[in-house]
Structure 1
Amino acid sequence: MDIFGLLPAFGGFAMTLLAFVAALSIIVFVHEYGHYIVGRWSGIGADVFSVGFGPVLIARVDRRGTRWQIAALPFGGYVKFKGDSDAASGKDGGPMANFLMSIFVFGAVMMASGVASERVAVGEINTLPPEYGSELRAGDEILAIEGQPIPDYDAFYAYARDAQAMPSKTYTIRRDGREMQVQGPFPLLPLVASVQPRSAAFAAGIRPGDVILSVEGAPVWAFHQLQEAVRNAEPGTPLALEVWRAGERAQLLLAPKMVDLPKDDGGWETRPLIGITADTFFSPETVTPGPLAAIGLGAERTWNVVTASLSGMWHMITGAISSCNLSGPVGIAQASGAMASQGLDSFIWFIAVLSTAVGLLNLFPIPVLDGGHLVFFAYEAVAGRPPPDRAFRILMAVGLTLVLSLKSGGRTMQQIHDEYRGLSLMVDLNWDWVLWCVAIGAALGTLAWILPA
């Protein structure tokens, strides 16, 4: 297989690898720093703090005697505490550091970019094809569409979901203190807000800002028309799209892919998608949240990632969704490169999502992961003695083998979709291997309990 054919087209192998290494190194550093700082607070010094494995590229020793180093293979890291016989991350704190990083990053991004104000007001009009004429201006407050009141964004998006698609709609607005009626495009257009990595749209070269004008020759004025066309398409059958980009028009062919998606009721459904999110014809008026509000919003986003991931795992256990949607490290590398291609804010947001996923994964009771260490600590607290050395080594060897096997195991996709930002991210989580690790870890843990010391 030609590996270059698997990589995002925007920058080739080097750019994808650079984005992947940058994302992974940041997450590993934060995770290991969590172990390091908890150990230091507990009065335990560290001999080595390493980001990466193998030959050391850069190193320095601080005043506490800890050697901080960057190694040649940036696919993990470790902290070697004083008195440890091996280099491992044996102190608690890594997953919590990942969660705190996600909360901080989510909150910081929302403080920097702002969040939509409570009133439905126009920040600025997006660049659109000439077919989409608009009489709205920046600062206009939308009060109603075709006579239907629009008190908030929930009502705005509900109207966009259910209303009849038309080239133009009548908007009742408030401008400079006066109410008036003006004409504008359909509220939610086939205007691309973001493109999912490794999707049909990404492979076809669709970019944020593109406007899809027609599907199979039929004009589309609303995003729900595009959704309907994709939903009714035969899986694997290419669709002909006319796309507008910065004044130029092009014809593209792409075949929707079957994807497992979370539903509002907590369930999952499988349906064809091309892999884009839609945007309104205007950018909303925004307000800047305060630090405490931003932390709260960041915590909410982090919790959404956790709950959606656990929901996906549960539905895979019950057979409600497939476990064969995405590959492992190559998929994460592609996602890293794809999000970097969509801008710095998208890449930073992706790192925060991935950090949450790494923190959650490390809490599973799998030997060699942090959750496995917690199981060993719990065993020692209950039994009054550590696990027998033989059982401990067996557990660690099995756990290490299975974790390393993640790269070739089955796959599933967890989509994290944030409606405000219009950003949809895919995170590779090899949950079927996780389940096997949990089951085998539990069985071997039982053996460790009954084996003599």
Structure 2
Amino acid sequence: MEFFTSFFSTDSLLVGTIIPFLFVLTVVVFVHEMGHYLVGRWCGIGVKAFSIGFGPELFGFTDRRGTRWKLSAIPLGGYVKFTGDMSASSQPDPEATEHLTAEELKVAFHTQPVWKRAATVFAGPLFNFFLTIAVFAVMFGFYGRYVLEPSVADVQPDSPAAMAGFEPGDRFVSVDGTTVRTFGDVQRLVSGRAGDELTFVVRRGEQEVELVARPRVSEQKDALGNTVKLGVIGVVTDETVGQPRLIEYGPLESVGEAVRETGYAIYRTGQFLKRFVAGREDRCQLGGPVRIADMAGKAAQLGFEWLVQLVALLSVGIGILNLLPIPPLDGGHLVFYAIEAVMRRPVSERVMDAVYRVGLFAVLAFMGFVFWNDLFGC
């Protein structure tokens, strides 16, 4: 009984980590693949299989259209296999195409106009962004948002802000040309720009003053207890100056705010990847399945709403990664379709196969890199 209780307690590996991890990953993968499926069906493309996970099938069923819906053994992704595909990466299968009936050829993926194929491929990442918008909209609608005025209560000694000439009482107007409404806006714009020279416009009394500061890296703990490295300039606010307040949103307002929040998440993720490639971000900030599982467990302990927020943020990341122009990711397919649209003919099978091999190696190398980070590197 003690073993049974400990095995199924919220602190156990199964309930405390594995189940939250599978929940987060399954929701994100299901929505991504459902985007491919729904738009593909709307375009009249036949679907052979819809799988959550890879590898051997654990269980499933076949619907009246002939699509096999299944749950597979390796829960680290999923795929939609369209008519005429030879693999989950939607590469054409010439041998299988020869054996397709006339009816099947009409609905085969690779016999469709290029715009239908592109729309079907792009729908996966797009649905990931829709998921994030939906989650944020519900959160803003139910809970609102606490904000602080973008005013400075104190300037830390020897900080970039002190050297730039910031003073207590300054109120931020813009950061590098972007207008700010709250202190959180300032933090967001600064946090991803460590080492960059930023121009700040602040209101000081009746005047607007332009100041230039270069954020420095600071190690901090996020809400889940993870160590993150952020750019800071060394200004703080408090309740007296910041005047914290709760903003409540109606249905349409919550959607609008959710779109803005999702846009920021996309921008911040893209900014991180760009800086990472340039060697300006710490490699330990990238994690794989082990890191995600750990974060899911911590989020579940804080409450279901934290777990749902993790779903939203992971969904943005999955959407952006899939749009990278690397086969066999969705972005790689879109590059081929763009070339086909311009040249008015498909890319040759020999070239496509060679690029797919290089792309697959790059994806596997990246997966190995994040696994190493998870287990040994950081």
- Say yes or no: TM over 0.5: yes
CA displacement at 1:17 relative to structure 2: 2.0
Q: Is 1:331 matched with 2:291?
A: yes
- Of the three residues 137, 142, 145, the one matched with 1:107 is 137
Deviation string for 1:82-126 (max 9, x for gaps)? 23233335732100000011001110111122334xxxxxxxxxx
Contact 1:261 1:269 in 2 (8 A): no
Q: Partners in 2 of 1:337 and 1:379 — Cα distance?
A: 43
Q: Counterpart in 1 of 2:349?
A: 389
Q: Is the alpha carbon distance of 1:284 and 1:348 closer, same or farther for their aligned partners in structure 2, counting shifts above 3 Å?
A: farther
4+ runs deviating over 4 angstroms = 263-268, 274-281, 283-288, 410-413
Does 2:335 align with 1:405? Answer: no
Instruction: Show the 5 A alignment for 1:11-410.
Output: 11-14=11-14, 15-88=16-89, 91-92=120-121, 93-116=123-146, 153-154=148-149, 158-159=152-153, 161=154, 261-263=191-193, 265=198, 269-275=216-222, 286=246, 288-409=248-369
Query: Cα deviations across residues 414-450 of structure 1 (Å, max 9, x unaligned)?
Result: xxxxxxxxxxxxxx9xxxxxxxxxxxxxxxxxxxxxx
CA contact (8 A) 1:268 1:315 kept: no
Contact between 1:57 and 1:71, CA under 8 Å: does it hold in 2?
yes
- Cα distance change, pair 280–54 in 1 and its aligned pair in 2 (3 A): farther
CA positional deviation for 1:74: 0.9
Instruction: After TM superposition, give the deviation of residue 399 of structure 1 in Å.
Output: 1.5
Q: Determine if contact 1:340/1:346 at 8 Å carries over to the other structure.
A: yes
* Counterparts of 2:129 and 2:286, CA distance in 1: 24
Identify if the C-alpha distance between structure 1 residues 305 and 269 changes in structure 2 by more than 3 Å, giving closer, same or farther. farther
Question: What's the CA shift for 1:372?
Answer: 0.1
Aligned partner of 1:332: which letter?
A: I
Q: Distance in 1 between matches of 2:65 and 2:356?
A: 30
CA contact (8 A) 1:323 1:411 kept: no
1:350 aligned partner, one-letter code: L
Instruction: Tell me the alpha carbon deviations over residues 328-383 of structure 1, each in whole angstroms, 9 at most, x when there is no partner.
Output: 32222212222222111111011101101110111110010000000111121222
Contact 2:270–2:320 at 8 Å: present in 1 too? no
Query: Aligned letter for 1:113?
Result: Y
Alpha carbons 1:61, 1:67 under 8 Å: kept: yes
Give the SS at the match of 2:283. coil
C-alpha distance 411-317 of structure 1, shift in aligned 2 (>3 A):
farther
| Alpha-carbon distance, 1:21 to partner | 1.5
Aligned-partner Cα distance in 2 for 1:315–1:52: 31
Report the number of matched residues. Answer: 273
TM-score for both structures, normalised by structure 2: 0.63
Q: Measure, in 2, the Cα distance between the counterparts of 1:375 and 1:275.
A: 37
Greater CA deviation, 107-116 or 342-351?
107-116
Note the aligned Cα RMSD (angstroms): 3.4
Which amino acid is 2:145 matched to? V
Deviation at 1:37, TM superposition (A): 0.9
Letter of the 1:74 partner, please give it: P
Return the alpha-carbon distance in structure 2 between the equivalents of residues 371 and 311 of structure 1. Answer: 18
Residue identity matched to 2:11: G
Aligned residue identity for 1:310? G
CA contact (8 A) 1:380 1:387 kept: yes
Q: Deviations over 1:68-87 (max 9, x none)?
A: 11112111111111232333
Q: Deviations over 1:107-148 (max 9, x none)?
A: 0111122334xxxxxxxxxxxxxxxxxxxxxxxxxxxxxxxx
Amino acid paired to 2:310: F
CA distance in 2, matches of 1:412, 1:269: 27
Number of the residue aligned with 1:135: none
- Amino acid aligned to 1:153: L
Residues 408/279 of structure 1: CA separation in 2 closer, same or farther (3 Å cut): farther
Which residue type is aligned with residue 95 of structure 1?
Answer: P
- Which of the pair is proportionally richer in strand? 1
* Higher-helix-fraction structure: 2
Counterpart-to-counterpart distance in 1, 2:88 and 2:372 = 31
Question: Structure 2: any 5+ residue segments left out of the alignment?
Answer: 1-9, 91-116, 157-189, 200-213, 226-235
Please list every run of 5 or more consecutive structure 1 residues that lacks an aligned counterpart in the other structure.
Answer: 1-9, 117-151, 164-259, 414-427, 429-453
**8 Å CA contact retained: 2:30, 2:52:** yes
In the superposition, relative to structure 1, how do residues 52 and 410 fare at CA in structure 2: closer, same or farther (>3 Å)? Answer: closer
Describe the SS at the equivalent of 1:47: strand
- Percentage identity across paired residues of the two chains: 37
| In 1: Cα distance, 2:30 partner to 2:221 partner | 35
Which letter does structure 2 place at the counterpart of 1:371? G
